[in-house]
């Protein structure tokens, strides 16, 4: 990977000028260090690993921007940001570097802001030195003494509100010996958001201070938006690539039980420190804390990032996807088999003490008709999310009964069952932006369940045969 850090003549000149003016005494103190301007990229990307072997004077230009944008599809919110993004732009320096941080508070902003970096050794982490009103620039220089992954955040009163509006990011201070080589790196931060309206209530939403004080977030999000890491924004990797994720929690209040469904972390540099633990399922990340997780996807499909405090994931937005490409590896991860119980099996496994109770559902009996099979498949695989009555959960799981979305193209729904789906959709006028995992079902079961949904739940016709599902599978 090319090292994108550049020596900048202009920065050298500026630094020299500032030093002459006595504006930044620390700049003059170490004139021998090469000056490097920190490259700033939007998350989930971050600057490349550091390859230099000696200390540098790193200039970071962070711009505070107050921006209105979508927090969820159709829901807008005014974020306060470091560099226009939530989380703020990733800073990457080396242990022993001198960091010259310029904070620019744009003239169109409404409020004073500052920055407290947990990588700083000294009171306030730079908060006092950088507190400025709109239309000003503050410069603060510090030495990165200790390696680690650190949170930075705004520390202007009310601090909880500035952080709740998105004012946090990560700074990686790489150890002197550098970091182990990996194939892919990503930058993800979790934060809790408090809006006056409910989860996914449409329109421009105001901040709700009382909800923040009560620690009752409306949203718990990865990278500042519901859907920032799903659908077209999903992260990607190839099977057997080593993936490193720099993960942090901005808060202000909610910690994360960070977990990626479908993988085991090879290494977790817990709390963003020097030591790592191996073979970890879930790592606890405090508010204002971090972890570096490394893992190696082995089989194709979607891995799902969640806060394993699960209603935050499935009801407040803390969900992301990493889509993995590669050949199937049935010896590691098989397709599995699902089928309705036969009468013979039921007779074998049901205790004899319960002699054929009258209310035993005949739907799972032997030789099910296509209809009964479709219902059995539905009950076993779809009802958990779409609900037993197929009416869904408003805003979370769309209805399959009387679904205008389904009725428009019933045939194509087999694609959704085969491949899964994420991103936004509107069903019966209600917006959804969830993640439906691909269903491991055979061709007969998929055709049966789609025909069942079409005929029994949508007053339609049978729409496809198992052979057609097989063709769709081939084209996938």
Nearer Cβ to Cu ion (98/130): 130
Nearer Cβ to ligand HEC (116/445): 445
Q: Confirm or reject binding of residue 179 to ligand HEC (CB under 6 A).
A: no
Binding to ligand HEC, residues 405-424 (CB under 6 A):
405-406, 413, 416-417, 421-423
| x/- track of binding to ligand HEC for residues 348-377 (CB under 6 A) | ------------------------------
Q: Confirm or reject binding of residue 425 to ligand HEC (CB under 6 A).
A: yes
Q: Confirm or reject binding of residue 381 to ligand HEC (CB under 6 A).
A: yes
Least distance to Cu ion, CB of residue 111, Å: 6
Both structure tokens of 208: 């709700």
Strand order in the sheet with 168-174: 91-94, 168-174, 148-153, 116-117
- 109 binding partner (options ligand HEC, Cu ion, none; Cβ < 5 to 8 Å by kind): none
Q: Which of 299, 400, 418, 472 binds ligand HEC (CB under 6 A)?
A: 400
Least distance to ligand HEC, CB of residue 99, Å: 42
Q: Which of 79, 258, 269, 432 binds ligand HEC (CB under 6 A)?
A: 432
Least distance to ligand HEC, CB of residue 281, Å: 19
Q: How many residues bind ligand HEC (CB under 6 A)?
A: 28
Q: Which of 117, 154, 324, 435 binds Cu ion (CB under 5 A)?
A: 154
- 154 binding partner (options ligand HEC, Cu ion, none; Cβ < 5 to 8 Å by kind): Cu ion
Nearer Cβ to ligand HEC (130/433): 433
**Short-list 114, 105, 205, 204, CA closest to 162:** 114
What residue ranges bind ligand HEC (CB under 6 A)?
A: 381-382, 384-386, 397-400, 403, 405-406, 413, 416-417, 421-423, 425, 427, 432-437, 439, 449
State the residues that interact with Cu ion by CB under 5 A: 113, 154, 156, 162, 167
């Amino acid at each position: 990977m090319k090292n994108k850090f550049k020596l900048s003549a202009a920065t050298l000149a500026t630094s020299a000028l500032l030093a002459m003016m006595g504006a930044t005494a620390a700049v003059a103190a170490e004139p021998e260090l090469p000056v490097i301007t920190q490259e700033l990229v939007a998350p989930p990307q971050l600057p490349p690993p550091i390859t230099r072997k000696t200390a540098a004077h790193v200039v970071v230009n962070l711009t505070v921007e107050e921006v209105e944008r979508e927090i969820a599809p159709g829901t807008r919110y005014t974020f306060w940001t470091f560099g226009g993004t939530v989380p703020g732009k990733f800073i990457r320096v080396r242990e022993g570097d001198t960091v010259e941080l310029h904070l620019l508070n744009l003239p169109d902003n409404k409020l004073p802001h500052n920055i407290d970096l947990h990588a700083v050794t000294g009171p306030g982490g730079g908060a006092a030195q950088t507190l400025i009103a709109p239309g000003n620039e503050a410069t603060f220089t510090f030495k990165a003494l200790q390696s680690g992954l650190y949170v930075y955040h705004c520390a202007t009163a009310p601090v909880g509100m500035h952080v709740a509006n998105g004012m946090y990011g990560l700074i990686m201070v790489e150890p002197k010996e550098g970091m182990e080589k990996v194939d892919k790196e990503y930058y993800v931060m979790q934060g809790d958001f408090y809006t006056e309206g409910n989860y996914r209530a449409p329109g421009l939403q105001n901040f709700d201070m009382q909800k923040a004080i009560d620690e009752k977030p409306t949203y718990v999000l990865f990278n500042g938006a519901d859907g920032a890491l799903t659908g077209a924004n999903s992260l990607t990797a190839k099977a057997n690539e080593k993936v490193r994720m720099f993960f942090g929690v901005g808060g202000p209040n909610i910690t994360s039980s960070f977990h990626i469904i479908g993988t085991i972390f090879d290494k977790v540099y817990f709390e963003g420190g020097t030591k790592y633990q191996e073979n970890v399922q879930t790592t606890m990340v405090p508010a204002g804390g971090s972890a570096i997780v490394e893992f190696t996807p082995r089989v194709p499909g979607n891995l799902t990032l969640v806060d394993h405090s699960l209603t935050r994931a499935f009801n407040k937005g803390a969900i992301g996807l990493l889509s993995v490409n590669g050949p199937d590896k049935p010896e590691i991860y098989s397709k599995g088999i699902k089928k309705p119980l036969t009468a013979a099996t039921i007779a074998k496994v049901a205790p004899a003490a319960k002699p054929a109770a009258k209310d035993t559902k005949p739907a799972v009996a032997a030789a099910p008709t296509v209809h009964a099979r479709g219902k059995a498949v539905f009950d076993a695989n779809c009802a958990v999310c779409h609900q037993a009555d197929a009416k869904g959960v408003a805003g979370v799981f769309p209805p399959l009964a009387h679904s205008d979305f389904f009725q428009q193209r019933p045939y194509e729904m087999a694609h959704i069952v085969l491949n899964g789906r994420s991103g936004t959709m509107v069903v019966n006028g209600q917006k959804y932006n969830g993640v439906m995992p691909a269903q491991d079902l055979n061709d007969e079961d998929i055709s049966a369940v789609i025909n069942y949904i079409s005929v029994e739940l949508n007053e339609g016709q049978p729409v496809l045969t198992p052979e057609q599902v097989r063709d769709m599978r081939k084209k996938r």
